[in-house]
């Protein structure tokens, strides 16, 4: 069957995988709990009936604030089948952002993951400008919950099933099915209106580049309100890939090992942490074992998948058997496809993962494009490390005079909710969406992102600086965990740098430096000299005007909770600049 609307996935799964026992799964306290095809279909319909039975009409806004769990899918499919609009929201926002989104979206129903979140957020629901119903997702005998919604709907099955069947006939793929609020690195979140067609088109466009199928398992841990993780769920449903929800971020390795995962989506920060663990494993070894590990590590970081030289392939096979197979064993033993998006990732990490049998495919997009614009293509072996792959089929791409990437096609959003002015600013009269990213085509087909247009700044000599590209290079150093490049209207760029203190501890031990605390390390001249040399190494591969002349090392952590990172782990530059204003001024004294 042709999938045109989100709820068509229900029938697709029912027809293609009628006897599957694990369409979805969720790990709770170390045990996997499975959802069969029958349960997936039945619960999705029960949610749809329940919402209608409670008196909600077509177009009602339904918010979910939830961890990754099958019930999220039931609400997602059920609300679409009922003709309502799903508004998935992150579980880590501030009080003001929650209240803003609750009010701005005109939400009437708010599903809350568990008792802790319910107790935290239901008072905010009470502050809304209009009444809304808070509903607990976890089963509960004393609080109205999702189970009660389903029971109410099922008790009126004969009344509402004809309505839902009529919806299947009447709902058009051009109708809005979801509003996704951008995590935002500046200002208030904007509500991105997405149609059935937006999401289904985009999911299918990257599904056809997939090499996984009904035999494979995908582990999901990125939030489902993240547009890419969401459309990957639709991608997996289309291809029959089983979807296993990790227990939490701290159990990802154990969860993958337990289910023998074949696929997952990550963001650069998560992949950087996995990379660091692989690197650290070698330091626990001694003698010939450490030497061999280091040789395999160096080979992986420079791996060229297109090198078909017999000797080169033999070396790869040797290192794979000796070292890389152990990495895979720790994650379930299977070779995997790994997709990375959200921001740029260091090229050496892509090479390292790929060498180890985790084929890392970098992609690119934004919420406003449903979200994928381009992604590397393992199905047709059309891949290029250092790029985000070819633009998806059925779309147009071009570049402005400044190099900004413009995209047009069925993936471009309907617009910003209640904000036609902002919509006109980002989508021009020809239908091209202006991404705000600077890029180019390599070999006429592979898209390469060089920086964010809004993040670029000009020095007082008129030369432009693309900070993200420099930051990515700085983070290639094992001694640098995070950094921000600044210097607008100054003579030269500078950087705020958070060192990797775990690496510095090892360096202190190896170099017999008596410094244990973070404060002692940042006061030690030998350590500061080592960190400065790391910056100097990066400067050697930069143009003269791009080179970092002053760096400020700080003992800090940039997180979502302290407002330094967005929900998708991107730098909130305005917040960081405000916090370190004094240190930044010192760089130019």
Q: Distance between CA atoms of 499 and 176, rounded to whole angstroms? A: 45
Q: What is the CATH number of the domain that holds 463?
A: 3.30.300.30
Claim to verify: residue 353 and residue 413 sit in the same structural domain = yes
pLDDT for residue 545:
87
The reply to whether 161 falls in a domain is yes
Q: Distance between CA atoms of 325 and 412, rounded to whole angstroms? A: 41
The reply to whether 430 falls in a domain is yes
Q: How far is CA 228 from the centre of its chain?
A: 6
Claim to verify: residue 212 and residue 299 sit in the same structural domain = no
pLDDT for residue 184:
57
Claim to verify: residue 371 and residue 481 sit in the same structural domain = no
Task: Work out the angle between the directed axes of helices 525-539 and 501-510 (0-180°, nearest 10).
Answer: 120
The reply to whether 1 falls in a domain is no
Please choose, from the candidates 160, 123, 124, the residue with its C-alpha nearest in 3D space to the C-alpha of residue 48.
Answer: 160
The reply to whether 2 falls in a domain is no
Q: Give the residue from 452, 477, 501 where a domain finishes.
A: 452
pLDDT for residue 406:
98
Claim to verify: residue 540 and residue 466 sit in the same structural domain = yes
What sign results for the dihedral spanned by CA atoms 259, 265, 269, 273?
Answer: positive
Please choose, from the candidates 207, 199, 200, the residue with its C-alpha nearest in 3D space to the C-alpha of residue 179.
Answer: 199
Phi, psi of 105 (to 5 degrees): -75, -15
The reply to whether 357 falls in a domain is yes
User: Is 402 in contact with 451 (CB distance < 8 Å)?
Assistant: no
pLDDT for residue 453:
75
Claim to verify: residue 203 and residue 59 sit in the same structural domain = yes
Phi, psi of 391 (to 5 degrees): -55, 145
pLDDT for residue 458:
80
Q: What total of structural domains would you count in the chain?
A: 3
Q: Distance between CA atoms of 531 and 521, rounded to whole angstroms? A: 11
Phi, psi of 108 (to 5 degrees): -115, -20
Query: The domain containing residue 336 runs over which residues?
Result: 267-452
**For 108-126, what is each residue's pLDDT tens digit?**
999 999 999 999 999 999 9
Claim to verify: residue 172 and residue 271 sit in the same structural domain = no
Claim to verify: residue 491 and residue 475 sit in the same structural domain = yes
Per-residue DSSP letters for 422-469? HHHHHB-TTS-EEEEEEEEEETTTEEEEEEETTT-EE-TTS-EE-HHH
The reply to whether 3 falls in a domain is no
Claim to verify: residue 185 and residue 223 sit in the same structural domain = yes
The reply to whether 97 falls in a domain is yes
Claim to verify: residue 247 and residue 272 sit in the same structural domain = no
pLDDT for residue 183:
67
Claim to verify: residue 143 and residue 198 sit in the same structural domain = yes
User: Is 300 in contact with 351 (CB distance < 8 Å)?
Assistant: yes
pLDDT for residue 343:
75
Claim to verify: residue 76 and residue 208 sit in the same structural domain = yes
pLDDT for residue 461:
78
**Strand (E) or helix (H) holding 159:** helix 157-170
Q: Distance between CA atoms of 202 and 392, rounded to whole angstroms? A: 8
Q: Give the residue from 386, 418, 452 where a domain finishes.
A: 452
Q: Render each residue's pLDDT in the chain as its tens digit; 589 residues.
A: 899 999 999 999 999 999 999 999 999 999 999 999 999 999 999 999 999 999 999 999 999 999 999 999 999 999 999 999 999 999 988 899 999 999 999 999 999 999 999 999 999 999 999 999 999 999 999 999 999 999 999 999 999 999 999 999 999 999 999 999 986 555 688 999 999 999 999 999 999 998 999 999 999 999 999 999 999 999 999 999 999 999 998 999 999 999 999 999 998 888 988 998 999 899 889 999 999 999 999 999 999 999 999 999 999 999 999 999 999 999 999 999 999 987 778 899 999 999 999 999 999 999 999 999 999 999 888 899 999 999 999 999 999 998 999 999 999 999 999 999 999 999 999 999 999 888 999 999 999 998 777 788 888 877 778 898 899 899 999 999 999 999 988 889 999 999 999 999 999 988 999 888 999 999 999 999 999 999 999 999 888 889 999 999 999 999 988 989 888 788 888 899 999 998 898 888 8
Claim to verify: residue 528 and residue 571 sit in the same structural domain = yes
**For 144-165, what is each residue's pLDDT tens digit?**
999 999 999 999 999 999 999 9
Q: What is the CATH number of the domain that holds 250?
A: 3.40.50.12780
The reply to whether 153 falls in a domain is yes
Q: Distance between CA atoms of 73 and 5, rounded to whole angstroms? A: 15
pLDDT for residue 571:
87
Q: Distance between CA atoms of 87 and 104, rounded to whole angstroms? A: 11
Q: Distance between CA atoms of 419 and 125, rounded to whole angstroms? A: 23
User: Is 325 in contact with 366 (CB distance < 8 Å)?
Assistant: no
């Amino acid at each position: 069957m042709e999938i045109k609307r989100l709820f068509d996935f229900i029938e697709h799964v029912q027809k293609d995988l009628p006897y599957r026992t694990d369409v979805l799964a969720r790990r709770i306290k170390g045990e996997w709990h499975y959802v069969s095809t029958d349960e997936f279909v039945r619960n999705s319909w029960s949610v749809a009936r329940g919402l209608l039975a409670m008196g909600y009409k077509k177009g009602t806004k339904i918010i979910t604030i939830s961890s990754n769990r099958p019930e999220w899918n039931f609400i997602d499919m059920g609300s679409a089948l009922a003709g309502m609009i799903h508004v998935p929201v992150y579980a880590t926002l501030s009080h003001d952002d929650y209240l803003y989104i609750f009010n701005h979206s005109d939400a009437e129903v708010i599903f809350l993951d568990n008792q802790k979140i319910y107790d935290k957020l239901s008072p905010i629901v009470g502050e809304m400008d209009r009444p809304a119903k808070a509903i607990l997702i976890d089963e509960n005998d004393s609080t109205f919950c999702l189970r009660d919604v389903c029971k109410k709907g099922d008790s009126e099955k004969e009344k509402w099933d004809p309505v839902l069947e009529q919806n299947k006939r009447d709902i058009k793929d051009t109708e809005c099915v979801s509003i996704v609020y951008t995590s935002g690195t500046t200002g208030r979140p904007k509500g991105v209106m997405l149609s059935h067609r937006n999401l289904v088109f985009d999911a299918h466009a990257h599904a056809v580049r997939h090499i996984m199928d009904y035999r494979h398992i995908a582990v999901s841990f990125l939030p489902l309100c993240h547009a890419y993780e969401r459309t990957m769920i639709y991608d997996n449903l289309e291809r029959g890939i089983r979807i296993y929800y990790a227990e939490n971020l701290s159990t990802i390795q154990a969860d993958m090992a337990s289910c023998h995962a074949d696929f997952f989506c990550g963001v650069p920060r998560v992949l950087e942490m996995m990379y660091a663990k692989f690197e650290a494993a070698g330091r626990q070894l001694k003698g010939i074992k450490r030497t061999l590990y280091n040789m395999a590590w160096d080979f992986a970081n420079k791996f060229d998948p297109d090198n078909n030289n017999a000797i080169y392939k033999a070396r790869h096979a040797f290192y794979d058997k000796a070292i890389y197979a152990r990495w895979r064993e720790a994650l379930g033993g299977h070779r995997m496809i790994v997709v990375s998006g959200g921001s740029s990732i260091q090229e050496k990490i892509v090479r390292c993962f790929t060498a180890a049998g985790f084929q890392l495919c970098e992609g690119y997009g934004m919420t406003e494009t449903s979200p994928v614009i381009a992604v590397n293509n393992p199905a047709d072996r059309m891949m290029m490390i250092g790029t985000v792959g070819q633009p998806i089929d059925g779309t147009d791409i071009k570049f402005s005079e400044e190099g900004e990437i413009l995209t047009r096609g069925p993936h471009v959003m309907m617009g910003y909710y209640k904000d036609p002015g902002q919509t006109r600013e980002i989508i021009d009269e020809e239908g091209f969406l202006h991404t705000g990213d600077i890029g180019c085509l390599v070999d006429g087909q592979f898209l390469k992102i060089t920086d964010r247009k809004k993040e670029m700044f000009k020095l007082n000599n008129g030369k432009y600086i693309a900070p993200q590209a420099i930051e990515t290079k700085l983070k290639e150093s094992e001694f640098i965990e995070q950094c921000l490049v600044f210097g607008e209207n100054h003579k030269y760029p500078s950087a705020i740098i958070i060192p990797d203190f775990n690496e510095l501890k090892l360096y202190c031990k190896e170099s017999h430096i008596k410094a244990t605390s973070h404060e002692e390390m940042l006061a030690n001249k030998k350590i500061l000299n080592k960190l400065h040399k790391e910056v100097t190494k990066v400067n050697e591969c930069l143009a003269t005007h791009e080179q970092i002349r002053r760096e400020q090392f700080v003992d800090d952590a940039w997180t979502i909770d302290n407002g330094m990172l967005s929900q998708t782990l991107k730098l909130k530059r305005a917040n960081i600049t405000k916090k370190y204003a004094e240190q930044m001024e010192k760089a130019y004294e």
